[in-house]
Structure 1
Amino acid sequence: MAPNESESAVRRKATRYVVPVVVVGVAAAAIGLVPALADSGNPDLPKISAQQLLEKIAKSDVQQMSGTVKISTDLGLPSLGGAAGTFAPGAGGLSGHGGGKGGSSADPQSKLMELASGTHTLRVATDGHDRQKLSVLDSASEYSVIHNGDEVWAYNSATNEAYHAKHAGAAQDRAGKHDKRELRDGVPATPKEFADQVLKQSGKTTSISVEGTSQVAGRDAYKLLVKPKQSGSTVGGITISVDAKTGLPLKFTLTPAGGGKAVVDAGFTKVDFAKPAASTFDFTPPKGTKVTEGGDHKGADGQRGPRAPHAPVAPQGSGKMPKEMRGGGKNDLKVLGEGWTSVAELKLPGGHGLPKGGPGKGDVPPEAQKFMNALGDHVTGKFGSGTVFSTRLINALVTDDGKVYVGAVTKDALVKAANAAQ
């Protein structure tokens, strides 16, 4: 570390080195690996401080690699069954992204939402900033997103549909006109991306320490433990297993404050730092494939090209919401508090609370009403009355007068924040 470089500066620097192992990722901001991914030993490694390990992550610049990642999410949500589509952003069509009235089953905006629940196996490969591939493997099908130069393809083998778009930023990247780490702005799908988000959000409300060693995917690793100092957060702790040789995060585990299995646990089961074969990034639609052209869309940051599904969160410790979530309308978000117990406040359109279902009302589908009733818990306070919807990580309070308070905090902390806002 430079003589005048602060710990917070090093943390910020650590987030700048994003390994471009995928083009797109999952929703949420918030994903436990099966027991088969448990650490396979505790190697004897030289002692290292948390600061030194942060520096190792910051210096990591892995450009070529391939491997297999397993991701599993357990937010504690009730099973939606066939009603899952009711809540998917792409339900009913993806206007502007799918390129057609019905959208496309290969469009990343809709397909990758599936990674927000359950257990999934991903195969990833990268060769610099211009070539990446992500494949989601199912028992009888495969979904892949391939970025090769200025071309982006997504293919769903289950439906024989493909999504194609031009990545207009690629030529600008080669000309040095863009900061390459800004080209992907989506939800994390690898341990490195999860770690980047957490380190970026670390502040004075966070405790960071080294808690021993482990072995992940046959590689020796240090375990970095990130924990909130504040009470009231639903996050118990986050463990990041960092490759001892390259500084690349190999595994990410988020455990809830309430105990039990991990809410999010993503880790490599296989990893290889050799240059992937050039053919890995080649793609030609099979005969008979329905191809949807996504066009050359302009993203929220002014860049053109396809965008990953995006779910920004307020930086921990900053008390500020990202600019993507601050608009100029009446529904602007505010952030109450700071750090791990920060709560976002916004107004529902029309200033009304939740719509009600039931015979003759028809405001919401029966499946959606059943889902809300299963999660809801009626509460009252200075704010009035409302319903708290809970998962193992995120809680949201929807008041009867049309306000929403949401955060990775306990129900009591949520109600307290709503009362303080009056």
Structure 2
Amino acid sequence: MAPYETDDSAQAADEADDVRTGRHRAARYVVPVAVVGVAAATIGLVPALASSGDPDLPKVTAQQLIEKIAKSDVQQLSGTVKITTDLGLPDLGGLASGFASGAVKGDGGSSADPQSKLMELASGTHTLRVAADGPDKGKVSLLDNASEYSVIHNGKDVWGYDSKSNEVYHATAPESAGAKGKAPHDVPATPKDLADEALKSVDDTTSVTVDGTAQVAGRDAYKLVVKPRQSGSTVGAISIAVDAKTGLPLKFTLTPASGGAAVVDAGFTKVDFSRPAASTFAFTPPKGAKVTEGDDHESAGKTPRHQGPDKAFPKGDESLRKGDKDLAGLDGVKTIGKGWSTIAEFDTGGKGMPSGGAKGSSGNSDVDGFLNSLGDHVTGKFGSGTVFSTRLVNALITDDGKVYAGAVTKAALVKAADAAH
């Protein structure tokens, strides 16, 4: 089926302001996408959605479709989501999980803490079972061959349970956790979580069009496509399959500008909009399970996991409070540029990693060779450094300890470092 709109249509320019207005409505449902560790602007598209034929649906504009997402009021659902992530990193499998769990445990925590599971979603293919019943009941289960990990939000309680280790994590849900469609404890589990973040990035540097229809999980859907207009971005575009009846995003797929396989591909394979059984959200720690209280962990001086937005970002930096909040995790972080070409800049306060240049800078040829295998040595007005790359996000670490990172090309990072010199 031919696209309903193209980027160079006469209507596209007239809709630019309307799209930005719709973006603000959609932003009400934002959920952080910690799994990829970057701002939502780093998210892109796959060319086509798996379908069993293009359904014949009434024509809609991009603005109308964004508003449909923003107005979506799905309160109950259950289903299965398949998510594949390919950042071009080795498939760490259990190593990533073990590293995350060890880091949490070393801090006095639990392998059942949801934060310890995020790294597992950073590579490979995973199956999630999700359910929701209103703003105060939600469940996400990560299924493995011989085990299952679940996060359950039921009223004031948030539970995490790791059947493999028989550990339980318990915390009190923050008052703000009742956002519609939000996965419990900020676990980025559904296409909606990803789509809401992506729509937050729509501005005048972005093209938004409707590109036909598809069927996802047996549901008729429209395909919304978001592409950066700027050069220098590693992002290709965003494709979101939007349920024609409810407005709920059913599939979200991501590829880089360089093409190839999707970087993130998350979509429902099954979905049911009837109310799940109340027992779905009931949880009692199994006999013999180790239970860690999240509130006790925080009061002991550990990193808080339920910070409000005003506490999560450096004071006085209004540009970060209003804009690239996902880049504000480090004190002193600054942003260069805007839109899809935004680069985060911060100083580590010390020496950077040895660049492994032609002459070597570490004093150890083995170390230099190893670093060369991980990244590319670059030079410029800023001096020298190493660029470490994934299929989507690149980071330049200079020899004097400065870091420049974003969903931009290596050349864009070097240019930013030179300009800041």
Contact 1:31 1:73 in 2 (8 A): no
Query: Which one of the candidate residues 297, 320, 324 is aligned to 1:321?
Result: 324
Distance 1:141 1:34 in 2: 31
Match of 1:242 in 2: 242
Q: 1:85 to 1:59 in 2, by over 3 A?
A: closer
Distance 2:406 2:396 in 1: 9
Match of 2:35 in 1: 26
AA aligned opposite 1:63: Q
Distance 1:153 1:24 in 2: 20
Match of 1:287 in 2: 287
AA aligned opposite 2:409: T
Q: 1:248 to 1:370 in 2, by over 3 A?
A: farther
Contact 2:217 2:271 in 1 (8 A): yes
SS of 2:292 mapped into structure 1: strand
Spell out, residue by residue over 1:333-373, the C-alpha distance to the aligned partner (whole angstroms, 9 max, x if none): 11111111111100013x2111699xxxxx9xxxx999855
Task: Name structure 1 gaps, 5 residues minimum.
Answer: 96-100, 358-362
Task: Name structure 2 gaps, 5 residues minimum.
Answer: 1-16, 299-303, 357-361
Shift of 1:239: 0.3
Q: Is 1:45 matched up with 2:51? A: no
Distance 1:317 1:212 in 2: 36
Shift of 1:409: 0.5
AA aligned opposite 1:376: G
Distance 2:215 2:180 in 1: 31
Contact 1:334 1:345 in 2 (8 A): yes
Q: Is 1:153 matched up with 2:159? A: yes
Q: 1:235 to 1:332 in 2, by over 3 A?
A: same
Match of 2:86 in 1: 74
Distance 2:319 2:370 in 1: 30
Shift of 1:294: 1.4
Match of 1:136 in 2: 142
- CA-based RMSD of the aligned residues comes to 3.8
- After alignment, is 103-112 or 62-71 more displaced? 103-112
Contact 2:76 2:274 in 1 (8 A): yes
Q: 1:112 to 1:415 in 2, by over 3 A?
A: same
AA aligned opposite 2:344: A
Shift of 1:416: 1.2
Q: Is 1:300 matched up with 2:307? A: yes
Distance 1:416 1:33 in 2: 26
Contact 1:16 1:181 in 2 (8 A): no
Match of 1:112 in 2: 118
Contact 2:140 2:184 in 1 (8 A): no
Distance 2:218 2:318 in 1: 33
Q: 1:316 to 1:389 in 2, by over 3 A?
A: farther
Spell out, residue by residue over 1:383-402, the C-alpha distance to the aligned partner (whole angstroms, 9 max, x if none): 11000000000000000011
AA aligned opposite 2:273: F
Distance 1:83 1:60 in 2: 39
Match of 1:61 in 2: 73
Shift of 1:168: 5.2
Distance 2:342 2:236 in 1: 15
1:163-182 equivalence runs, <5 A: 163-167=169-173, 169=175
Shift of 1:418: 1.2
Distance 2:264 2:204 in 1: 24
Structure 1's consecutive aligned runs of 4 or more residues displaced over 6 angstroms after TM superposition are 30-37, 178-185, 314-319, 368-371
Distance 2:48 2:199 in 1: 27
Distance 1:125 1:233 in 2: 35
AA aligned opposite 2:35: V
1:397-416 equivalence runs, <5 A: 397-416=396-415
Contact 2:134 2:180 in 1 (8 A): no
Distance 1:27 1:40 in 2: 30
1:200-211 equivalence runs, <5 A: 200-211=200-211
Distance 1:6 1:69 in 2: 31
Percent of aligned positions that are identical: 64
Distance 1:259 1:90 in 2: 35
SS of 1:93 mapped into structure 2: helix
AA aligned opposite 2:72: S
Q: Could you say which structure has the higher helix fraction?
A: 2
Distance 2:122 2:348 in 1: 24
SS of 1:39 mapped into structure 2: coil
Shift of 1:113: 2.1
Match of 1:191 in 2: 191
Q: Is 1:226 matched up with 2:226? A: yes
Q: 1:210 to 1:168 in 2, by over 3 A?
A: closer
Shift of 1:218: 0.2
Structure-1-length-normalised TM-score: 0.80
1:265-284 equivalence runs, <5 A: 265-284=265-284
Match of 2:420 in 1: 421
Distance 1:33 1:290 in 2: 42
Q: 1:92 to 1:6 in 2, by over 3 A?
A: closer
Structure-2-length-normalised TM-score: 0.81
Q: 1:34 to 1:322 in 2, by over 3 A?
A: closer
AA aligned opposite 1:93: K
SS of 1:13 mapped into structure 2: helix
Match of 1:98 in 2: none
Q: Is 1:332 matched up with 2:310? A: no
Shift of 1:417: 1.4
Contact 2:138 2:184 in 1 (8 A): no
SS of 2:186 mapped into structure 1: coil
AA aligned opposite 2:230: Q
Q: 1:251 to 1:80 in 2, by over 3 A?
A: closer
Q: 1:224 to 1:372 in 2, by over 3 A?
A: farther
Q: Is 1:16 matched up with 2:15? A: no
AA aligned opposite 1:301: G
